[in-house]
Amino acid sequence: MTRLAVADDSLFGLANLPYGAYSVPGAEPRIGTRYGDHVVDLALLLDDHVFARPTLNAFMAQGHDRWVAVRERLVEAVAGDVPDRAVHPAGAVTLHLPFEVADYVDFYASEHHASNLGRLFRPDSPEPLLPNWKHLPVGYHGRSASIVVSGTDIVRPAGQRKNPQDPAPLFGPSTKLDIEAELGFVVGTGNPMGEPIPVEDAEHHIFGVVLFNDWSARDIQAWEYVPLGPNLGKSFASTVSPWVVPLLALGPARVPTPTQEPAVLPYLALEEPWGLEIDVEVEWNGEVVSRPPYASMYWSPAQMLAHLTVNGAPTRTGDLFASGTISGPERDQRGAFIELTWGGREPVTVAGAQRTFLEDGDEVVLRASAPGSGGARIGFGEARGRILASKFIGTEG
């Protein structure tokens, strides 16, 4: 047995205790928690077989009461005598995608992001936001199969693009590869078809929160997206952080969302504060270039889930819905490079170089932290990805 020591300022103290899937060489992935600098096996620590599996889905499906009960046991158990064979140094394990993704939806919940993109894409319009934007959380479905865990390399996608002056589309590797710094919300238990989740019940369905980088090929997206929305410009890859921070840990981070004016329809009206004071940072080739504040998001995750299901659509254990790019009001709070560099026209200095979109070999890391219980701060780990060259050769000169 071991007593694990954790520094007072650790982002992975008792206030956090996130869930993830880890493996050691020669063994299948199992569920663990991160505690200080260690990964602790939960099946061994808690003597609970639901954690002797490669993903969190079975545990999440047990529902909110179990999440509460297990967290209470976990806080006690991990601070006590821990079986030696349950403990691994964090650097000695491989981390995996922590849950099997069912349906994936990406929202567009930041007013600053939506307004910036409106100004960039519709410069002649007097209103940067479209008429529906303040009435419903706009979102679209994406590809679950291409959601990968932090550390997975991202191959530059190829596809069609067409500038207005080109007579026909060109095919080749994207020349406007971008990031979108987001949070992702993991559905622990869903709803049957025909039974919407009321906004006030959302916290019984949302299991936890991950970092999410929705890699985006802006040139492919711009050509394809009318009238049915983004597809190939997004579907090649999205990166999630390996630790799912339980919503139960984020009580101290709950803050009111910005005032919603005009008032939303009753099915979207919040009684509880559902904003989240989570501070995100975007590191590009080792340099922090942006600090998007999640607290600035207009639409809350509870509203997103209520909206997703109000038409009777079912959700399932493992559904993931992401916030859309987090951008604050200031330039250095923008969560996508298309905004940060204003469409590529205002380069930023990154490690001494003038940069706009992603080049091969670039690496982007998202990190975040939030207030936790007892004055602690809790961390979200990281969502890291490096750009590899496309195998395709462009058709353009």
For residue 248, which of 47, 63, 81 has the smallest C-alpha distance? 63
**Per-residue string for binding with its own copies, 235-264, x by CB under 8 A?**
xxx------------------------x--
Which entry of 113, 135, 205, 307 is annotated as an active-site residue?
Answer: 113
Q: How many CB atoms lie within 10 A of CB 288?
A: 12
The footprint of its own copies on residues 95-134 (CB under 8 A) is 102-103, 105, 108, 121, 130-132
Residues counted in the chain: 397
Residue type, 119: R
For residue 371, which of 274, 280, 277, 257 has the smallest C-alpha distance? 277
Among 19, 223, 274, 294, binds its own copies (CB under 8 A): 223
Phi, psi at residue 372, to the nearest 5°? -120, -175
CA distances from 175 to 166, 220, 356 (A): 15, 9, 10
Q: How far is the CB of 244 from its own copies (least distance, A)?
A: 20
Catalytic status, residue 135 = no
Is 202 a binding residue for its own copies by CB under 8 A? The answer is: no
Is 169 a binding residue for its own copies by CB under 8 A? The answer is: yes
225 vs 342 by CB, closer to its own copies: 225
Which range, of 138-146, 202-210, 251-259, 282-290, touches its own copies by CB under 8 A?
138-146
Please give the Cα distance from 94 to 217 (Å, whole number). 29
Site size for its own copies (CB under 8 A):
64
**Per-residue string for binding with its own copies, 280-309, x by CB under 8 A?**
---------------------------xx-
Is 144 a binding residue for its own copies by CB under 8 A? The answer is: yes
Contacts with its own copies, residue ranges (CB under 8 A): 102-103, 105, 108, 121, 130-132, 135-136, 138-146, 148, 155, 157-160, 162, 168-169, 171, 190, 193-194, 217, 220, 223-233, 235-237, 262, 265-267, 307-308, 310-316, 319, 391, 395
